[in-house]
Structure 1
Amino acid sequence: MSAVKHAVMNRHSSRAFLPREVDEALVREIVDTARYSPSSGNLQPWKLYVLAGSSLSRLKGEVADTLARHPRGEGMGYPIYPPDLKADYQARRVKCGEDLYATLKVARDDRIGRGKQFARNFTFFDAPVGMLLAVDRSMGQGQWADLGMFLQTLMLLAQERGLATCAQACWTLVHETLERQLELPEELMVFCGISLGYADPEHPINTLRTEREPLSAIAEFRGFR
């Protein structure tokens, strides 16, 4: 199996990390290589903020204060899902959540347990590195696709180097706090967070592997002989 295929097949969202620091040089190497991700017109519409140590602790502290005052967050900086999500897509989303909480033995009606787990998003699941990916507010749908390619490249490079990641759209719920804490220029908005570190192989939540649709459901091949 090629290195690229191995990274694609083995990457998954890690939600529990070891208390092991990641060398700054390694993080810089990964981000530096991710710069070569494709983008339409070579706009390269991404801006990445990479936090560790006291900078990460300070941001998490600010976010914790915000959530203590506003448990539901500050409102979304952008809609993560369409308001009229079609049934097939909604079913996949629900199953993903159910499978995740099942690894923790948290029941569907256990709102406290589910709430505690969701809150861990805002600690980057205790990963030693937290990243926030931002984009210029003037950009359109095409450039958001570019962000996705940059994000995937970043995560695959991390996987190749033995690191785990978790991309987290939920950070938009505290977008005002992030903008203030990171001192973002007015034209930038946070797209997502990314947890980065060494996965805890013993934590049950890291056993989750979400299902994928079969090839026949997602692609049509035409004109081949």
Structure 2
Amino acid sequence: MSQGERTQLAERIAGEIAYSERSGETIRKWRTDFEVTQTELADRLDVSPSVVSDYESGRRDNPGIAVVRRTVEALLDIDEARGGRHIRQHARVISAGYDRDSVLDLREFSAAVPIERYFDAIDATELAAGTQETVVGHTVIDSIAAIRRLSSEEFYRLYGQSSNRALVFTNVSRGESPLVAMRVVNPTPNAVVLHGIEGEDVWEHAVDLARVDGFALSTTTIDLSAVLDAGDDQF
């Protein structure tokens, strides 16, 4: 990640905390998103864990800009020391112009990957075969947040520019909304993955729609972090 990308991400996180009516809750959101414990953050800030807890719970007044800046830099430093996985994911989404509450990851693979191999990497069960054999990346989408937060232009740009990719939808109950969306977006992706549900729970018309539109359809219940990491080492 370049210094400019890190600075852009830091400014985005700091701005969200500073403008939040519940800054402590926003700090907690980013800390947990980066998988950092209160103790780890406190050690980096050279304060006691109770201080971090007090800020996050609202027992202390809203942190000033200096505290926010140190907190953001601490989160980024910790992630960089671990290899920078979360920083890279955020940077990819931000550089594409999306909000990571809606788009959790947007990754390009180093080469075209057989769909079967991608499904194996995320422990997915194929429900319908597609007409294409490979994907060159994946886009992981929170289906509910996308509906609530993306404009119609962003929605169609996100879906419509993913023809040779795998679209992974999380936060789904039956997959009805993503599958209906595929009917109105052209071209369709090469593969669609419904995350967090078993095949038996998928909307009864999903497989038929996938076959009509020619994309591979699968489900996976693997931990979301494993889906987000797919491609770091495998492809």
Pairwise same-fold verdict (TM > 0.5) = no
Q: TM-score, normalised by structure 2?
A: 0.25
